[in-house]
């Protein structure tokens, strides 16, 4: 679906700010393509909700001072359509990003959003991760982060944990100085063992 297809009824002013926001994510913050698509989709869904919530095409005034009640209504609307806690949390990240973009221009306030926390993830016993799910974990678009570099960091750590079998303490202990010259591998060492051994990790992963 064309990202602009549904926005034909969006006010010109808000549409312009939306386009500027997307452009800033791609250029200034160098957001990955899939993450950018996810953020655009999350905002699109929110604006679709606002159309019915406000009873008219979304305008800047509708997002300038969002109230906690507005966001709770949106979350309930998404839950009714089958969205889970993880999807809702990621959606809030995209909306927060847009509102903060407007806030920096003095056009909106994010106070109403700060009062809303991401839905808690259901607690379950650990289970083996399927290959498809492991690949999903390494997709930055699946991580509920406002800053792209935070999502990239999380993906790098998860790749080390699942791809090389490192413990979290071992993965976090790796430093750039451990990267040997003219190689694309890092050496991770098991702690507390006399016969420490290395785990090769592709530096570009």
- Average pLDDT, consecutive stretches of 10 residues, N- to C-terminus, the chain (205 residues): 50 93 87 85 91 88 90 89 82 89 92 75 68 75 66 80 77 72 54 43 41
CA geometry: angle 7, 13, 18, nearest 5 deg: 55
Residue 79 CA to residue 130 CA, distance in Å, equals: 26
Question: Could you give the domains of the chain?
Answer: 7-119 (1.10.150.130), 127-205 (no CATH)
Q: What pLDDT score was predicted for residue 23?
A: 93
pTM tops 0.75? no
Q: What pLDDT score was predicted for residue 142?
A: 64
Q: What pLDDT score was predicted for residue 105?
A: 93
């Amino acid at each position: 679906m064309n990202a602009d297809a549904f926005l034909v009824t969006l006010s010109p002013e808000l549409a312009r700010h939306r386009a500027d926001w997307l452009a800033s994510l791609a250029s200034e913050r160098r957001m990955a393509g899939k993450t950018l698509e996810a953020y655009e989709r999350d905002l699109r869904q929110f604006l679709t909700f606002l159309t019915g919530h406000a009873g008219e095409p979304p305008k800047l005034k509708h997002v300038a001072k969002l109230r906690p009640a507005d966001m709770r209504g949106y979350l309930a609307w998404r839950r009714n359509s089958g969205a889970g806690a993880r999807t809702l949390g990621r959606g809030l990240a995209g909306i927060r990003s847009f509102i903060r973009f407007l806030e920096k221009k003095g056009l909106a306030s994010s106070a109403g959003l700060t009062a809303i926390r991401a839905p808690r993830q259901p607690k379950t016993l650990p289970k083996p991760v399927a290959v498809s799910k492991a690949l999903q974990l390494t997709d930055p678009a699946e991580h509920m982060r406002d800053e792209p570099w935070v999502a990239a960091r999380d993906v790098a750590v998860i790749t080390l944990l699942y791809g090389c079998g490192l413990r979290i303490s071992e993965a976090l202990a790796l430093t750039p100085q451990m990267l040997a010259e003219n190689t694309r591998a890092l050496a991770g060492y098991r702690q507390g063992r006399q016969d420490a051994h290395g785990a090769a990790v592709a530096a570009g992963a």
